[in-house]
């Protein structure tokens, strides 16, 4: 057999697990903040005002060069100045209206749903865009007025706000369009089904991200006893971590970092935060700089926060002051949906690797029993006397039992038994008790 006819030999190789490339938390931090968008819009307004002022001067100079006079432009400039002045004064009132609507929406959301869902309004791109464009329009009109040329001689005039008035009018049109969309979006967010849908959508995105980084079931080898590092930053809730920075830090010190708190835990100075396996121990301050600590949780890396918000909405609806079991049923619908996506998901500590495939960071996540307890316990306790809620809980538990593997059925069976006992303690009549435990996807329709 000639060499050209020889069969190519394939070198055997073991399949490598796809390496998850974590995104920087900067994008999420910017979305959780309200100030970046208005700041960028104001800077853009300053640049735009300078550009239109320069174009106005060019238009006047070209007109005088061709006709020898700018009388027509001066006649137009009087009306243009009136338009810009009106825009400047009206937009400030317009901004106050937008801001007032936002405050009312936030107050109603906090009282009706849960303080945790206020983040939906802060993260809303439309709210930021509306406020930013209105603010930029006001600042643009103000700067244009400062650049007015008061000369009335048509042969010596330098600038007439021709382009500036057109741009100001266009900005007003854009502001009005955004305002209409903003009012519509705000009215939607004041309706509980849309709030629940938004929370569920963000939870689905978090679960999809979790699917991209399935946990390794085998812990990494640790030849040395781990060293405990204490937290050295400000107190607050662990919102997320900079995975890339921690992996680089562990690689630089040839160590493995085991994160002690879970995302969403409250940490204070002196709290054990990282177990370091290795001879070279990084400084605690370097670890703390990679942890984002704030006053509230976010959905960025928190697998449980979506359940927390849905449960809060449900138990607030079941409180005696509200007494709205239908809202609780709508929240249970979404909880059922999210748990159905988790039944086949492997649970275990997440392990992040460097570019050589070595495990450098281990992050704890909630397990399956914890997710079941979070999803059902509080709603079961608060809604035991509401047949609409108990029937929907029974339907959700029965559906999950049908699609769940045997090793994950015990927590669901425990919840089913506790539901029956809670109904038995709250409902004395046997016939009503049987009715309350009959599975129904709509509660009572």
Within a domain: residue 32?
A: yes
Nearest to 63 by CA among 50, 52, 76: 76
pLDDT value of position 415: 96
Question: What sign has the CA pseudo-torsion 434, 435, 438, 443?
Answer: negative
pLDDT value of position 154: 65
Within a domain: residue 272?
A: no
Within a domain: residue 109?
A: yes
Within a domain: residue 16?
A: no
Q: C-alpha angle with apex 292: 295 to 357, nearest 5 degrees? A: 150
pLDDT value of position 216: 59
Nearest to 121 by CA among 39, 199, 174: 199
Within a domain: residue 14?
A: no
Within a domain: residue 255?
A: no
pLDDT value of position 176: 92
Within a domain: residue 43?
A: yes
Structural domain harbouring 43? 26-190
Q: Residues in the chain with pLDDT < 50?
A: 1-21
Phi-psi group of 348: left, alpha or beta (phi > 0 → left; psi -120 to 50 → alpha; rest → beta): left
pLDDT value of position 410: 95
| pLDDT tens digits, 368-401 | 999 999 999 999 999 999 999 999 999 999 999 9
Question: What sign has the CA pseudo-torsion 332, 337, 338, 339?
Answer: positive
Domain count, the chain: 1
Within a domain: residue 178?
A: yes
């Amino acid at each position: 057999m000639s060499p050209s006819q020889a069969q190519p030999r394939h070198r055997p190789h073991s399949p490598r697990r796809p390496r998850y490339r974590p995104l920087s938390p900067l994008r999420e931090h910017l979305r959780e903040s309200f100030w970046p968008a208005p700041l960028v819009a104001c800077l853009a307004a300053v640049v735009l005002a300078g550009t239109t002022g320069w174009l106005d001067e060019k238009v006047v100079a070209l007109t005088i060069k061709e006709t020898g006079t700018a009388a027509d432009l001066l006649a137009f400039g009087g009306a243009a100045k009136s338009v810009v002045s009106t825009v400047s004064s009206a937009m400030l009132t317009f901004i106050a209206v937008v801001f007032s609507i936002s405050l009312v929406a936030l107050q109603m959301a906090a009282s009706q749903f849960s303080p945790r869902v206020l983040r939906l309004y802060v993260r809303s791109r439309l709210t930021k865009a509306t406020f930013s464009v209105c603010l930029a329009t006001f600042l643009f009109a103000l700067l244009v007025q400062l650049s007015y040329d008061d000369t009335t001689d048509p042969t010596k005039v330098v600038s007439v706000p021709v382009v500036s008035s057109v741009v100001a009018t266009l900005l007003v049109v854009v502001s009005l369009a955004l305002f209409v969309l903003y009012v519509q979006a705000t009215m939607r967010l004041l309706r509980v089904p849309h709030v629940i849908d938004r929370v569920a959508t963000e939870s689905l995105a978090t679960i999809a991200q979790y699917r991209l980084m399935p946990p390794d079931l085998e812990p990494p080898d640790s030849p040395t006893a781990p060293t405990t590092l204490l937290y050295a930053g400000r107190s607050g809730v662990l919102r997320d971590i900079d995975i890339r920075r921690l992996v680089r830090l562990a690689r630089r010190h040839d160590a493995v970092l085991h994160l002690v708190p879970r995302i969403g835990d409250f940490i204070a100075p002196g709290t054990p935060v990282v177990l370091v396996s290795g001879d070279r121990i990084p400084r605690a301050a370097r670890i703390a700089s990679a942890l984002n600590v704030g006053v509230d949780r976010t959905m960025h890396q928190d697998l449980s926060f979506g359940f927390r918000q849905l449960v809060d909405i449900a138990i607030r609806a079941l409180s005696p002051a509200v007494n709205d079991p239908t809202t609780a049923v709508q929240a249970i619908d979404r909880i059922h949906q999210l748990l159905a996506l988790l039944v086949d998901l492997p649970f275990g500590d997440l392990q992040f690797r460097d570019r050589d495939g070595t495990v450098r960071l281990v992050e704890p996540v909630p397990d399956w029993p914890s997710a079941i307890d979070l999803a059902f316990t509080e709603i079961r306790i608060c809604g035991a006397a509401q047949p609409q809620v108990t029937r929907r809980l029974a339907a959700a538990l029965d559906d999950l039992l049908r699609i769940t593997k045997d090793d994950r059925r015990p927590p669901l069976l425990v919840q089913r038994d506790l539901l029956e006992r809670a109904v038995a303690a709250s409902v004395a009549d046997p016939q009503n008790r049987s009715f309350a435990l009959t599975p129904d996807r709509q509660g009572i329709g």
